[in-house]
Structure 1
Amino acid sequence: MLEITNLCAGYGRTQVLHSLSISTSSNGILSILGHNGAGKSTLLRTAVGLIKPTSGEVKLFGQDVTSLSTHERVKRGMAYVPQGQQSFTQLSCMENLQVVADLQGRVGKARIAEALDRFPALTQVLDRQAGLLSGGQRQQLAIARALITAPKLLLLDEPTEGIQPSVVAEIQQTIIDLAKDGMSIVLVEQNIGFALDAATSYAIVARGQVVESGQGAETTAEKQTKVRESLAI
């Protein structure tokens, strides 16, 4: 699904990723763990084309997309939800969805309905200005907007960060359901327990490199303890 090889990237003269290699399966959840500043967000931003790598390769479905724009990667089935519950704050919830749906042609209306099926709570606030939504509602909206593009690969950066506990469980369950329905997900998540429980595979990133990886089946209580110990280094 996604194959990243020897990726080097950063911001200006500051290199963040150092020959990082990682790959996902055709479905399931790859959880990316690591401390703040480890390079997790930079990895997702480079994968989706928002940062141009200085070297290395990004492949999507076996095709080299390293030189393609973000728009072209989205057209090929990739979607990205960054940190911060981002939305067009001056537009209503429905207008935020419609902006993306209008680019999908005749299927746009149906895709809005499908996205709202994933987040039924949004149906109660469709006319509300996005800037007035709660953090949890804005995060649901951000993910729903990404789903309207019908992605095969969804990149999520800290989707439960700063969200009220009552909504966190709903977002987590939606992520699991999307994977069960065949979507491939790369999940950067601060909740280690959820990240490992949901994962088909996982990777720990430190200083811009993958320092440990494993399969979801390995994430027993003992394995989670070892992963937590690794993150404490």
Structure 2
Amino acid sequence: MFRASIRPDSVCVFLGLALVFASGIQPGLAAESPPNLVLIISDDQGWTDFGFMGHSVIETPNLDRLARESALFPNAYVPTSLCRASLATLLTGLYGHQHRICCNDPPDGVDRDAMHPFIRQAPALPRLLGEAGYASLQTGKFWEGHFSNAGFTAGMTVKGRHGDDGLVIGRQTMQPIDDFISGQQGKPFFVWYAPMMPHEPHTPPERLLAKYSVGGRNTKLAAYFAMC
């Protein structure tokens, strides 16, 4: 799913890319071996800002390879271009008018936990996968309080507004994902990988910033390109 554009006044998200892929599955074994699933969600990324979408500068070789091996939906649009509402749609498969999540934050004087009863009882993807024997890990952006509220069996977000400890994923470390996968020992797994990137703050590695600054490109634009 893709945001239509990046606007300077946008308050948050939406999603640049959501790809689900199977790993480690040999032909003929799909019936016996449930696929491992990874959902990759980019944050505040323009829909053209991938190599496989034809961007003339941004290079995304790993995602390009994945796109070549996948079904691509270039005409898909998000009906609710707001962080929490969009992620709720990904978690549940419901449109905004069905899940009725329409804001990131509660009204003044209302505790944030009062916003989470819906997700606790909704047929969310990690909950449904759990019923099928999957372990699931939440990392990155997540607005629904504790990761278990959506049925994840493990996760990085336990409180806070939109991810707390989970927001280090992709920017500072990938270790929680590596540890989770290595601990499954053959059990099928689902990973929710939703780094807060290329959302601001734009803090790319110096080598990538230098790469995209060639030719005197505006520093802010170069930093955004480098975060993609």
Give yes or no for TM over 0.5: no
TM-score by length of 2: 0.31
More strand by share: 1
The structure where helix makes up a greater share of residues is 1
Flag the structure with more relative contact order, 1 or 2, with Cα contacts below 8 A and sequence separation at least 6: 1
State the TM-score, normalized to the length of structure 1. 0.31
